[in-house]
Structure 1
Amino acid sequence: MKLVLSHRSALEYWRSVGTLRLPRPKPTRARTPGGRIAGTEVLALCRAHALSIPLHLLVSKSERRFRTPDVVYHARDELLPQGSIAMIDDGLFVVSPDLAFLQKAANEGFVELVDAGYELCGTYTPSKTPSDRDFDQIPQTTPAKLSSYVEKAGTMRGVAQARRALRHVLPDSASPAETALSMLLTLPYQQGGCSLSYPQLNYRIDPGKHARKNVSQNYYRCDLFWDKANLAVEYDSNLCHTGAERIARDSKRRDELLELGVTVVTVTAGQLFNFQEFNKMARTVAKRLGERIQPRNDNFATRQLALRSILLAKLERPSLKPPVPSARSRILCASQAASFEQKGAEGSAEPPT
């Protein structure tokens, strides 16, 4: 019996490959769907591979059954494009990340699809309780591979939506927050973004032979980097720094990048979640890029809020209560938190999503 994990189950499996340290599925020449599964086997399969219920399977039309609380069958008889299926184990297969993206394109909105593209081409797995295992992973695919697969897919459902979304998908994002920041800055006005030029994510800067004498690192990674302006935008997930040591380290890093001709703009979680503070930061970035944020539609703010409600809902909101042990750190955090609260009172922080 051949089973082919599909749709949401396929995405869950590809995510678990990195976080659970599972062997990567092997490429296969298989191009046909699989069969159905006995109801008594669903729970065991889901437990064995960390999949949620209902299980999604790709089957031929002759094997299709009505949806049950435990299984959703997706029917197809036509041959799939090459590279559509990978083998997990004997008799168990999974659709490729490229086909999973195309399947998502047929059922999801534009923003959700671009977000999924960033994830599949990034080095992280989104999680409600993130741990070290969720980061520094091997990307499941690349924008170029996704585009190549979509072109081979012909008239399959979701092709037009996938092409449109892939124009805005960037590789190498290292976290959901970096993805959200990049999308908020670069998506077109129509989608609520600032329509800025595209950066390179997690760009590596190598000091030259002579410059290396004046810096302490062999290379630097910048979250978002625009080569044309030598501008880096760095995301700091902590509203309050964890002590004077880290403050000094971050300051030294910024100074050394400046020595290399790179200007650094730091974005805190507080700025990301505050509507007005984020827009101030975006205008600063635009000015340094020699660009302008000039939406021509009257309801741009409404579209911004709609985009933010989707992207930020999956991120942990900053806490004003600093979990730091040292007395000096507590004083610094209290000062920053008070400033944040005052700005929120004066400028109205974004309403909860």
Structure 2
Amino acid sequence: MDLPIVLSHRTAVLYYRAPDRATVRGRDYDLNPTAGRARDVASRVRELLSDCGVPEYGLARLDVLCPTEHDRVGSKEFKSHVYGGPIPMKQLIHLAPGLFIIKPELCFILAATYMKDIELLELGFEFCGSYELDSTGNGSPYRKRKALTSVKKIRTAAKDCAGAHGARKAKRALARVRDGARSPMETALALMILAPHHHGGLSYLGIEMNRRVDIPEDMRRSCSLEYLEADVFAPAAQAVIEYDEDVHAPLKQRTRDADRSSAFLRLGYRMHTVTAGHFSEQLPLHRALNGIAETLGIKAPSSAAFQRKQNELRKQLIKRWKREDDRKPAPASEKDGNAQGTEGVDSEPAATSVNGGAMQEAEGVGPGPDPAPQSGDAVYEAEGHGPARISEKDGRAREAETDRPAPASEDDRDKRRQSVRAPHRQ
């Protein structure tokens, strides 16, 4: 090997979902690509990634970015991807001596070369939102964090990297990505509205995520909140679309939600609430989206073919959630940005599983059968199994300034190193 290593593609996505990545920056892993054998270098890169929290299945073969065909790494330890010219240094992050990783902006652009349309949109919402998926499957399915990037930054990078593979598809996808999502559930709700008709969405682009709405002074005496945040806000229609947590929410949380809904209505906004129950079945969600379309001033397609696509989209967006009776204990609650108290949020979504960079349903928590379609509606239900019951931790808790998961203990990192010191071969 005669070039510094640049991690990219699926390996980069797993790095940005790793819980302890901040703890390894700048640490020396004795990487010297110009002097070491590819197998030895790969072993040390795996050690670094394991210390970050990247799961073992993501270490079998490492994705690296090369400037030209002549720079490909001739080793089965690495999967080389050709950029097509000098890799812009401003799109790289220095992890350790001899090792770089592409920034989230370029990571999204290159993801367009191997991700399907909806999967790419989900990644965009995640990178531009305040959460990250957990690829380890060992805890909560997502963690709170500050946004890695923004739609504006990705769009600028796509212009600067116009010759990169995936740049054109990434730019088209950005039209349906929004900043500010706080959970995969909010992302799912937004994509049911934003996605084009041929993917089962309403194809309505005029929405924002978590728009702040200040409470006027004359309403302060009758409202305990200083401001509201709308999960999905449609300015042109003056509509607010909320994702509501499950029915097991504590009384104080449900009271705050009722106060929020009342305040939105008093301010003149038209309200829609979508719940986990809507997402768990095809027909309730179809009817809810028809009502939202009417409020937005658009006409949703009514054909059986569209409803089939809508149902497929629903299933794809909820594949990360599992049954309520399999839920793990919720993490510590965070300060609620919409209220002066912090009590009340105790439900959370399901654990996830990733295989080869694409999210898959976790073994044993797959969806159960849907009820039969109801007569009188042009409803299509795919053959096989329907979705599981779902629940989520309410996304309204504003993350604290230090809301980064605690780094792994030294014992945990030692165990990870021991599991990856032997070279992995495909």
TM class by shorter chain equals: 0.7 to 0.9
Considering only aligned residues, what root-mean-square deviation do their CA atoms show, in Å?
3.1
- SS for the counterpart of 1:201 is strand
User: How many Å separate the matches in 2 of 1:346 and 1:101?
Assistant: 38
Relative distance call for 1:172 and 1:130 in structure 2 (3 A) is farther
SS in 2 for 1:94: strand
Corresponding residue SS for 1:106: coil
The answer on whether the counterparts of 2:261 and 2:271 sit within 8 Å (CA) in structure 1 is yes
Deviation at 1:102, TM superposition (A): 1.4
**1:157, distance to aligned residue in structure 2 (A):** 1.2
Contact 1:118 1:170 in 2 (8 A): yes
**C-alpha offsets along residues 261-311 of structure 1, whole Å, 9 cap, x if unaligned?**
23332211110121110111111112222222136x762123223322322
Matched-pair contact (CA < 8 Å) for 2:20–2:52 = no
User: Of 92, 96, 101, which residue of structure 2 is paired with 1:89?
Assistant: 96
Partner of 1:258: 265
2-structure distance, mates of 1:102, 1:210: 47
TM-score by length of 1: 0.80
Matched, 1:122 2:129: yes
Q: Which moved more, 1:255-264 or 1:160-169?
A: 255-264
**3-state secondary structure, aligned to 2:283:** helix
SS where residue 215 of structure 2 aligns?
A: coil
1:3 aligns with 2:22: no
Partner of 1:327: none
TM-score by length of 2: 0.67
Residue equivalent to 1:203: 211
Percent of residue pairs bearing the same amino acid type: 26
Look up the equivalent residue of 1:112 and give its one-letter code: E
Hey, what does 1:302 align to over in structure 2? Answer: 308
Q: Describe the shift of the 1:245–1:174 C-alpha distance in structure 2 as closer, same or farther (beyond 3 A).
A: closer
CA deviations 1:158-199 (Å, max 9, x no partner) are 122112211111111111111111111121112211123432
Aligned to 1:228: 236
Report the AA paired with residue 138 of structure 1.
Answer: K
Q: Spell out, residue by residue over 1:100-154, the C-alpha distance to the aligned partner (whole angstroms, 9 max, x if none).
A: 111111112211111111111111112356649702x211111111111111212
Note the C-alpha offset of 1:86. Answer: 1.2
Select 2:50's aligned residue among 47, 62, 65.
47
Which of 145, 150, 158 is residue 166 of structure 2 equivalent to? 158
Give the secondary-structure state (helix, strand or coil) at the position aligned to 1:125: strand
Which residue is equivalent to 2:406? Answer: none
Partner of 2:143: 134
Between 1:244-253 and 1:226-235, the stretch displaced more is 244-253
Shift of 1:55: 2.2
More divergent stretch after superposition (245-254 vs 163-172): 245-254
Instruction: Map 1:1-353 to 2 at 5 A.
Output: 2-16=4-18, 19-20=19-20, 22=22, 36=38, 38=40, 39-51=42-54, 52-53=58-59, 54-59=61-66, 61-66=69-74, 68=76, 70-76=77-83, 78-81=85-88, 83-127=90-134, 128=137, 131=140, 134-135=143-144, 137-238=145-246, 240-294=247-301, 299-318=305-324, 344=371, 347=374, 351-352=385-386
- Give the whole-Å Cα distance in 2 for the aligned partners of 1:184 and 1:142: 21
| Cα distance change on mapping 1:50 and 1:242 into 2, 3 Å | closer
Segments of structure 2 that go 5 or more residues without pairing to the other structure are 27-32, 330-367, 388-426
Count of aligned positions: 321
Cα distance, 1:72 vs structure 2:
2.2
Gaps of 5+ in 1: 27-33, 324-340
Whole-Å Cα distance in 2 between the matches of residues 200 and 123 of structure 1?
A: 15
1:217-259 Cα distance to aligned partner (Å, 9 max, x none): 1111121111223321111231x23354443332222222222
